[in-house]
């Protein structure tokens, strides 16, 4: 299956997504069947054997993720869209975090639940940052107090603290940079942890920069190309 045929299939299947199932509408349609920033780290996991790694093969984790995308393309639906109480807490608190961030970044553009935005990186990949201000991409989390305290004490080392979030920011940097037509190395990520339960006001928000990683940015186009090729081999099995 050629790339354009796969794109046509995605367009056709994603048009089946109904607003009453996914109120986010067009944003959800664009995400469906795409490798997104929140899970992009799965494509960067290493195979278990040295031989597979030396041969440049995909890991089983990466293959499983690609099968998830194939399922979305073939059904026009997205699984695991349930919002947990913890996720709802985060969604509810994000606007308050944004108000605090605006004190330093008054021109920040927030992409909340009312106006989410998907920045495409390729035909089958992209990301949805929480906010953007000039060349800064924001990722906002509203965790439980214990985790928030760990962020306060991690000295800005997000890659060690939560590698999935680090990958998420790196991908969103790439996506927004492509939308702006600039080098991703000229962008900056900003991780924000917000917990209104902290008694001391100065401890309620924690933010630190996440610089673009040159190795990730160089590997990303090849990683996406490899994942899209594997996706095509799956769809090809059905001779659509």
- The predicted-structure confidence for 139-180, as pLDDT tens digits, reads as follows 999 999 999 999 999 999 999 999 999 999 999 999 999 999
Asked if 39 contacts 65 with a C-beta cutoff of 8 angstroms, the reply is yes
pLDDT at 125 over 70: yes
SS3 call for 182? coil
How big is the chain, counted in residues? 240
Full-model pTM: 0.90
44 with 223: CB under 8 angstroms? yes
CATH number of the structural domain 85-216: 3.90.320.10
Q: Quick check: 192 and 97 in contact, CB under 8 A? A: yes
With a cut of 70, say whether residue 128 has pLDDT above it: yes
The pLDDT of residue 19? 44
Instruction: Calculate the average pLDDT of the chain.
Output: 89
Rounded Cα distance between 105 and 96, Å, is 14
Query: How many CB atoms are located within 10 Å of the residue 182 CB?
Result: 12
pLDDT tens sequence across 92-103: 999 999 999 999
Q: What is the pLDDT of residue 21?
A: 42
Label residue 188 by pLDDT band (50, 70, 90).
very high
Question: Which residues touch 93 (CB under 8 Å, ≥6 apart)?
Answer: 142, 194, 196
Q: Which residue ranges make up each domain of the chain?
A: 3-81+219-236, 85-216
**pLDDT for the residue numbered 84:** 86
Phi/psi of residue 89, nearest 5 degrees: -55, -45
What are the start-end ranges of the E strands in the chain?
A: 35-36, 109-110, 119-122, 125-127, 131-133, 136-141, 188-194, 205-210
* pLDDT tens column, 75-116: 877 776 677 888 899 889 999 999 999 999 999 999 988 788
Report the range of poorest mean pLDDT among 11-25, 59-73, 130-144, 183-197. 11-25
Q: Helix and strand tally (H, E) in the chain?
A: 9, 8
What stretch of H or E contains 153?
Answer: helix 145-153
Average pLDDT over residues 195-205: 97
Largest CA distance in the chain: 61
Write down the pLDDT at residue 22. 45
Is the per-residue pLDDT at 1 higher than 60?
Answer: no
Q: Please indicate whether residue 10 or residue 121 has the higher confidence score (pLDDT).
A: 121
CA dist., res. 66 & res. 230, Å (int): 7
144 contacts 113 by C-beta, under 8 angstroms: no
């Amino acid at each position: 299956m050629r790339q354009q045929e796969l794109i046509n299939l995605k367009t056709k299947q994603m048009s089946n997504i109904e607003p009453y199932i996914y109120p986010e509408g067009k944003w959800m349609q664009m995400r469906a069947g795409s490798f997104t920033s929140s899970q992009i780290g799965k494509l960067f996991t290493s195979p278990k054997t040295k031989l597979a790694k030396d041969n440049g093969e995909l890991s089983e984790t990466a293959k499983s993720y690609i099968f998830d995308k194939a399922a979305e393309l073939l059904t026009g639906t997205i699984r695991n869209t349930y919002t947990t109480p913890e996720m709802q807490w985060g969604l509810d608190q994000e606007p308050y975090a944004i108000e605090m961030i605006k004190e330093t970044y008054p021109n920040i553009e927030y992409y909340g639940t009312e106006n989410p935005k998907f920045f495409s990186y390729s035909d089958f990949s992209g990301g949805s940052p929480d906010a953007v201000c000039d060349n800064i991409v924001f990722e906002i989390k509203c965790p439980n107090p214990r985790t928030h305290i760990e962020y306060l004490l991690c000295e800005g080392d997000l890659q060690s603290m939560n590698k999935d979030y680090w990958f998420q920011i790196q991908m969103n940097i790439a996506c927004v940079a492509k939308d702006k037509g600039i080098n991703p190395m000229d962008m900056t990520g900003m991780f924000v942890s917000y917990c209104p339960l902290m008694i001391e006001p100065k401890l309620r928000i924690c933010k630190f920069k996440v610089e673009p990683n040159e190795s990730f940015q160089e590997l990303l186009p090849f990683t996406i190309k490899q994942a899209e090729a594997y996706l095509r081999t799956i769809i090809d099995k059905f001779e659509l």
